[in-house]
Amino acid sequence: MCHAVNAGIVEAMTKGLAASTNFLAPAPWFHEAVALAKEHRLEVGVHLCLGSDWDRMGWGPLTGNPRLMGPDGRFPQRPESLEQTGATEADVYEELAAQIRLVQRSYGEPTHVETHMLGGAWRGGFADRLQGVVVKVAQDFKLAYTYERDRVTNRLKHFAGEDCHSGWSRESFLKKLAAWTEPGAYHLFGHAAVASPELEALCSPGHPAFKWAAELRLMDQALYLDAGLRKDIENLGFTLVPVKEALR
- Domains in the chain, start-ordered, CATH in brackets? 3-246 (3.20.20.370)
Cα dist. 215→55, 68, 71, 98, 194 in Å?
A: 17, 29, 29, 32, 11
Residue 26: its pLDDT value, please?
A: 97
Q: What is the mean pLDDT of residues 70-94?
A: 94
Round the CA-based radius of gyration of the chain to a whole number and report it. Answer: 18
Question: 32 near 6, Cβ under 8 Å?
Answer: yes
**pTM for the whole thing?**
0.95
**CA quadruple 154, 160, 165, 168: dihedral, nearest 10:** 110
Residue 156: its pLDDT value, please?
A: 94
Chain segment 95-147, per-residue pLDDT in tens: 999 999 999 999 999 999 999 888 888 888 999 999 999 999 999 999 999 99
Nearest to 114 by CA among 128, 90, 131: 131
Q: Is 123 exposed, middle or buried (0-12, 13-18, 19+ CB in 10 A)?
A: middle
Q: What is the mean pLDDT of residues 2-29?
A: 97
Nearest to 233 by CA among 221, 220, 246, 224: 224
Long-range interactions of 165-170: CB distance < 8 A, separation 24+: 165/189, 165/190, 165/220, 165/223, 166/190, 166/191, 166/212, 166/216, 166/217, 166/219, 166/220, 167/211, 167/215, 167/216, 167/219, 167/220, 168/219, 168/223, 170/223, 170/226, 170/229
Helix (H, G, I), strand (E, B) or coil at 204: coil
Residue 120: its pLDDT value, please?
A: 84
Residue 121: its pLDDT value, please?
A: 85
